[in-house]
Amino acid sequence: MRIKLMLLLLSLIVSCKNKTEVKLENVSENRLVKHVDEKMPDLEIYDFNGLEKFLNNTDNKVYVVNFWATWCAPCVKELPYFEKLREEYSKDELEVLLVSLDFPHLYDTKLKPFIREHQLKSKVVALDDVDMNTWIPKVDTTWSGSIPATIIYKKGNRKFYEQSFDFDTLKGEVEQFLN
């Protein structure tokens, strides 16, 4: 465990060093100085119709789609495992998508700063669709609606998990799709 932590830390240090400087943008006069030198990440926002394409890719990759939110503590806890997953497999093998269910009025003040501070490398999109009773069963008929929730799929093969993961369990599930 300690070695894993050190490796993870090391990889974070390396990725920090490689980070290119961001340009100043939209600096308003009354913004705090510590915020002005960092650009907020862009965020793609979808309703469920727009999101569906990410749940139905038909190429030969394994797709790991995690539903989360910054206000969900168990979700935040497992995010590093999804990030690590992305690092361990090639982009031809596996893609991770983090679908945020954060509240739209907090995209700019909570979600984007979170993505930046935690330097999330996986693709993050926001799902903004209030008609939950319609779209939740379309994700999976067994989903009660609690998060975190995760789909792993490859072509027609698909599994849904309404649970938290540790890294080994998550990787074990992914391996079943790779073979």
Partner 1 sequence: MKTTIKIIAAFCFILFVSAFTITKSTLGDGYKIGDIADDFKLENIDGNMVSLSDYKEAKGFIVTFTCNTCPYAVMYEDRIIALDKKYAPNGYPVIAIMPNNVEVQPGDRMEAMKERANTKGFTFPYLIDAEQTVFPKYGATRTPHIFVLQKTEKGNVVKYIGTIDDNYKDAAAVKTKYVEEAVDALLKGKDIKEKETKAIGCSIKV
Binding stretches for partner 1 (CB under 8 A):
1, 5, 8-9, 12-13, 16-17, 19, 37, 71-74, 76-77, 80, 101, 103-104, 117-119, 130-133, 136-137, 142-148, 162-166
The residue among 82 and 154 lying less far from partner 1, judged by its C-beta, is 82
In the complex, the smallest distance separating the C-beta of residue 112 from partner 1, rounded to whole angstroms, is 16
How many Å apart are CA 69 and CA 54, to the nearest integer?
18
The residue among 32 and 59 lying less far from partner 1, judged by its C-beta, is 32
In the complex, the smallest distance separating the C-beta of residue 92 from partner 1, rounded to whole angstroms, is 28
Tell me how long the chain is. Answer: 179
How many Å apart are CA 69 and CA 48, to the nearest integer?
16
In the complex, the smallest distance separating the C-beta of residue 44 from partner 1, rounded to whole angstroms, is 19
Edge-to-edge, what's the strand order for the sheet holding 94-100?
A: 44-46, 123-127, 94-100, 62-68, 149-154, 157-161
Tokens encoding 88: 């361990």
